[in-house]
Copies of this chain bind each other. A is one copy, B any other.
Amino acid sequence: MSVENHAADDAATAFASHDHSTCRAQALQAADDLAAAQGVRLTPVRRRTLEILLETHRALGAYEVLERLGAEGFGSQPPVAYRALDFLVQHGLAHRVQRLNAFAACLSPGHDHAPAFLICRACNKVAEADAPEIRSALRAAAVGVGFSVERMTVEALGLCDACAAAERPE
């Protein structure tokens, strides 16, 4: 399977080798656009927090982010990180990964999506899989029992191709 997507328009960019600088730049650009469009402020801490998340496809704990921020002259107390992360999540620029109590940059911001996450337990990378059928199936099941869904969490823990290959000869 060849790798030729030029950006984060594919669900599983995270696990494939790809031009990550483009990946990052595009997400950051989208964030700037979105901030301008919505009249919200992508302040230095917030922007830097997003950049930090964008450095890898792994999900980072709030304290990992905080450590980085503190080292760069921003505040070094938990609320600094949590507030920036909350802002990003609120505006669809990052997602919270429940399973890991951690945060990952969103690779296709502006879509107002609530994707499924694929979490590799070996390399810790996290990919977003946009799977509308999953969401509609859940919603349907809920309606059947008189439950109205407001937010949903769909996460899968497993192995990505690369890590599965690495583990097999063991």
Chain A contacts to B: CB under 8 angstroms: 1, 11-12, 15, 98-99, 116, 118, 120-121, 127, 129, 131, 133-134, 137-139, 141-142, 144-161, 164
Contacts and interface: CB of A to CB of B under 8 A. Distances in A.
B138 A156 contact: yes
A148 B159 contact: yes
Q: With a 10 A CB-CB cut-off, give which of A15, A118, A127, A161 has the most chain B CB atoms.
A: A118
A152 B139 CA distance: 17
A15 B148 CA distance: 12
Contacts of A99: 98, 153
Given A98-B99, A145-B15, A158-B142, A153 B153 contact: yes
17 contacts: A12-B146, A15-B146, A98-B98, A98-B153, A118-B142, A118-B145, A121-B150, A127-B147, A129-B145, A138-B156, A147-B158, A148-B159, A150-B156, A150-B157, A150-B159, A151-B158, A152-B157
A155 to B, nearest CB: 4
Given A121-B150, A150-B159, A145 B131 contact: no
Nearest to A131: B141
